[in-house]
Amino acid sequence: MDSAVDDAVVGDFALINKLDIRCDLKTLSDDLKESFESEDMKGKDSKKEESTELIQSQDVEEKLGSGEPSHLVKVHTAPKPGKGADLSKPPCRKAKEIRKERKRLKLMQQNPAGEPEGFQAQSQPPSLFPPKAKSNQPKSLEDLILESLPEDASHKLEVRLVRSSPPSSQFKATFQDSYQVYKRYQMVIHKDPPDKPTVSQFTRFLCSSPLEAENRHNGPDCGYGSFHQQYWLDGKIIAVGVIDILPYCVSSVYLYYDPDYSFLSLGVYSALREIAFTRQLHEKASQLSYYYMGFYIHSCPKMKYKGQYRPSDLLCPETYVWVPIEQCLPSLENSKYCRLNQDPEAVDEGRCKEPDRLQVFHKKAIMPYGVYKKHQKDPGEEATVLQYASLVGQTCSERMLLFRN
């Protein structure tokens, strides 16, 4: 319905409310049915009869507009014998009016016990359309991802989270199935030769992790560490998302899938699934509030897809602040590498300002760089250490150990 019709119907409801009329739905339905049947009938009326009918309608309108209580809307006037249409039957009406009548009937049927919804007080403007049902609202990501399927659905999808390091019993039980999916993925999608994706290469690449398993009372139930999120379709693994669950984010490491199911856009689905999973973990651990997709390479189609998810931020490689990706794209179109922070005066607030406090591991001993450099005569050594300090920042340079032989 266009806005003009909406306004007209709103006005009609306001009039009904003013007159305090309660309509009999059955009578209104019968009248409406008769009006539909007589819609195609055309009466032959003279100008005089049209004038008389107009005067009669004006009289009725004036009476309705006078503010007097009325319990009768339909006005029947007996026709003169042999002249004009039978006024005991509903007159022919325009299609617009019939649509308005149909809409009124529909709204009244939604609330047959009383007045249409929205007419609770005279001072409140009438609301024609009741609040939309939840099914008509745009679905949230969780509604789409976690929507339950009927028991007799043709297929069944299950997502299992298994710890990969240290390997859990579920991970060990499904290791070979998971590896075979990885091997096929590398050979078909990345064109690897059959001898390249070996078990040891797979283990080193996606199973072994430097992260330690940790459970905290205020953390997620699954704990922190490295995991495989397995996608089971009809009892077989078709995809695996490798993720790290950290105190402040879920880091997406890698995804591999069965090439036979490429048509399902599993890369997109897994990313949405991991975003929904991050939001689920956030409810338990409020500080865990980011989904990290790794490096973004604007000139590489295989990496550029990450920019499709919004809102997203990119880390400035010089000032180390997060910048909305919309602000970065124009610069990245012109140059493969660029400073993303638009403020020319901004600097890295966490830069290493006291390099002598940097921790060095040398000859089985831990010492500050200020002590270590006193025993070094290589002029190039200082430049190397300072470059390292500029990359990791002051905080990490005091927490990490720089090995020097």
Position 96 scores a pLDDT of 77
Per-residue pLDDT of the chain (405 residues; tens, 9 = 90+): 344 444 444 444 443 333 333 444 444 445 545 554 555 554 545 444 544 444 444 444 444 444 444 444 444 555 555 556 565 666 666 777 788 788 778 777 766 554 444 444 444 454 555 555 555 788 888 888 888 888 889 999 999 999 999 999 999 999 999 999 999 999 999 999 999 999 999 999 999 999 999 999 999 999 999 999 999 999 999 999 999 999 999 999 999 999 999 999 999 999 999 999 999 999 999 999 999 999 999 998 888 889 999 999 999 999 999 999 999 999 999 998 899 999 999 999 999 999 999 999 999 999 999 999 988 878 788 899 999 999 999 999 999 999 998
Position 313 scores a pLDDT of 97
Structure tokens at 180: 């075979």
DSSP string over 45-101: --HHHHHHHHHHHHHHHHHHHTT---S------PPPTTSS--TTSPPP--HHHHHHH
Position 62 scores a pLDDT of 41
State the burial class of residue 319 (Cβ atoms within 10 Å of its Cβ: 0-12, 13-18, 19+). Answer: middle
Collapse the DSSP code of 164 into the 3-class scheme (helix H, G, I; strand E, B; otherwise coil) and give the result: strand
Position 288 scores a pLDDT of 96
Provide the phi-psi class of 393: left if phi over 0, else alpha when psi is between -120 and 50, else beta.
left
Compute and round to an integer the Cα radius of gyration of the chain: 37
Sign of the alpha-carbon torsion through 183, 189, 195, 198: negative
Position 189 scores a pLDDT of 95
Structure tokens at 87: 């006024």
